[in-house]
Amino acid sequence: MSDPGNRTTDSGPALGDMSVEEFRRHGHQIVNWISDYFENIEKLPVLAQIEPGELKAALPSSPPPQGEAMEAILADVDRLIVPALTHWSHPSFFAYFATSTSAPGIFGELLSAAFDVKGMLWRTSPASTELEEVVLDWLRQMMGLDAGLTGFVYDTASVSSMHAIAAAREGVELRIREEGMSGRADLPLLRVYASEQAHSSIEKAIITLGLGQRGLRKIPTDAEFRMEAKALGEAIEEDKREGFLPFCVVATVGTTSTSSIDPVRAIVEICKQHTMWLHVDAAYAGSAAVVPELRHILDGCERADSFVVNPHKWLFTPFDLSVLYCRHMDLLRRAFSLVPEYLRTPEQEKVRSGSDYGIQLGRRFRALKLWMIIRYFGHEGLAARIREHCRLARLFASWVDAAPEWELSAPLPFALVCFRACPQVDGENNEERARQLDALNEAIMHGVNGTGDAFLSHTKLNDKLVLRLSIGNIRTTEKHVRRVWELLNEQLALLC
């Protein structure tokens, strides 16, 4: 009699996993499918052209009682899932921060899913623990960061920054880990400082850590959207006079709206003067420091207490992988380590256990994909790609600059261009004309996005609606940048 556990039918075996033969067959099919996807991706609309609720309505509302054939499942990926995707891997994806996966990164994800490691303790994941330490030190060297900074992988920058601020708070020695913050008359108002242009994840971290939104003081920025160091110093002095406890500053290298760079060297001096923790959010732009001639963007960061960079933004790493570099791993550990008896191991004093440094117990084997990416492209290969993105952004900016009906809205230190259409518009007063220009730019953006040929996003700068073109996809070439410029001009001609 055959073993039912090994019996493979159209709808899978009665027990156990898919047979190895079937896995091999479907695995080849899926790799072929992905190859075709990349080969033909430009035929797909970048922005999903569906209405809200359309996919939900096309899916069964209850699960299948019996297993289904893999062929049927894959056919539905084509039929239902692909049309409902916004294609982040499309070379004309220019919205938000354009990012991309890469072939070695996909292979790393595939292997990681097969190993299915839970990186909580060294013994549950020696390879993951030790590879992470090595590969993050490679990345640190590639960015020219100080050797006193130790790397640790989280999923996203939001989570990395939250852990950094928790470690900073642990450093104030107010027994917050033990006694919490609520109901304590002995605690002053703890304050964190970040610029008006800082990412919303900093405010969310403050909320999550129980510091309250009033625990974050937003510092004004200058005409180029960089934190005013002088205003920071004054705000800290003022708060101290009021009896508050300033304990952490978050500087940004590469802000979300414009990619501006806060004056980290001046900010670090202020932090040292007041014995405060400096966390640098370089989630987007930190990767650019792997380009030797761009290393200066991290000027001052060698003295930071912590620093976050997202390889999943601009280092061709499939989402998600964020790295927190921290100078005080002891404080990070003190904030989060809790070892119940069932997790105690004989080697725990000699090794790093991932669960000691964050709220998660198990952690994915994310370092594998980054290791494969760095090995496959090499430091020079990665730098060449980022350098090319910056060149393409400057090229696009030169067209904007030369066109009388368009204007640049912010400097471009990296590969993000902020710009807007500014033709003559009729209007009774300045306010009315400003409203019309905002509406025009918004209509241009929706018009371009509606073609499916490119995808842009926007922000507001000095109360004006501004378009953002971010170049960061590994497949983007000059041809795609030329095409989006044509599309923008077509829309402008149509609307004016």
Contacting residues toward ligand PLP, per CB under 6 A? 97, 156-158, 199, 201, 252, 254-256, 281, 283-284, 310, 322
Least distance in Å: CB of 326 to ligand PLP? 16
Taking the least distance from each CB to ligand PLP, the nearer of 121 and 139 is 139
Least Å distance, CB 155 to ligand PLP, is 8
d(C-alpha 489, C-alpha 451), whole Å: 13
Phi, psi of 263 (to 5 degrees): -75, 80
Taking the complex as a whole, how short is the minimal distance between the CB of residue 181 and ligand PLP, in angstroms? 24
Radius of gyration, CA atoms only, the chain: 25
Which of 342-350's residues contact partners 24+ apart within 8 Å by CB, and which partners?
Answer: 343/120, 343/121, 345/121, 345/122, 345/123, 347/122, 347/123, 348/121, 348/122
Task: Return the number of the residue (281 or 305) whose C-beta is nearest ligand PLP.
Answer: 281
Q: Are 197 and 416 a contacting pair, CB within 8 Å?
A: no
* Shortest reach from residue 292's CB to ligand PLP, in Å: 23
In this complex, which beta carbon is closest to ligand PLP, that of residue 124 or of residue 473? 473
The smaller minimum CB distance to ligand PLP, of residues 193 and 284, is found at 284
Nearer to ligand PLP, 121 or 418 (CB): 418
Nearer to ligand PLP, 70 or 261 (CB): 261
Q: Minimal distance in Å, beta carbon 339 to ligand PLP?
A: 28
The CB density around residue 79, as the number of other CB atoms within 10 Å, is 10
CB of 49 vs ligand PLP, minimal distance in Å:
24
Q: Which is nearer to ligand PLP, 221 or 255 (CB)?
A: 255
Tell me which long-range contacts 111-114 makes (C-beta under 8 A, separation of at least 24).
111/368, 112/364, 112/365, 112/366, 112/368, 112/369
CA 441 to chain centre: 26
Q: How far is the CB of 286 from ligand PLP (least distance, A)?
A: 9
| DSSP characters over 415-446 | SEEEEEE------SSHHHHHHHHHHHHHHHHH
Structure tokens at 424: 């003559």
Asked if 327 and 278 count as a contact pair (C-beta separation under 8 A), the reply is no
